[in-house]
Amino acid sequence: MSIELPKVIAAYFSADKTGNAQAISDCFTEDATVLDEGNTYTGRNAIRQWMANASTQYTYTVEPFDIAQDGARTVVTSHLVGNFPGSPVDLRYFFVLRGKKIAELEIVP
């Protein structure tokens, strides 16, 4: 199934596939927040470090397969397979966009 993602969300998943932490952080506003696995990361530097750590700790693939709107949030459901506990898993990515950037991202099972 092919879905059409907003440009910045597509760029986020594309950068995630290559493990490019800098390209991922560039998708976010300067003051963006990410909530993942009970942790909050605020600002591009913290977001870049979060992704750099995840990329070195685990090997995984992520495939978005569904998109929906939840108020102001764009919800993308993706299938993750890798060498992390609980693999494989479907995760929901709740994106809040501001202009052409991601202002908030929450990742939950």
Whether residue 70 lies inside any domain: the answer is yes
Write the CATH number for 85: 3.10.450.50
What string of DSSP letters covers 2-31? -----HHHHHHHHHHHHT-HHHHHTTEEEE
Percent of the chain with pLDDT over 90: 78
pLDDT tens digit string along 18-67?
A: 889 999 999 999 999 999 989 999 999 999 999 988 777 778 889 999 99
Mean pLDDT for the stretch of residues 89-105: 97
Whether residue 54 lies inside any domain: the answer is yes
Q: How many domains is the chain partitioned into structurally?
A: 1
77 vs 37, higher pLDDT:
77
Phi, psi (degrees; rounded to nearest 5) at 94: -100, 105
Cα–Cα distance measured from residue 16 to residue 10, given in angstroms and rounded to the nearest whole number: 10
Phi, psi (degrees; rounded to nearest 5) at 19: 70, 25
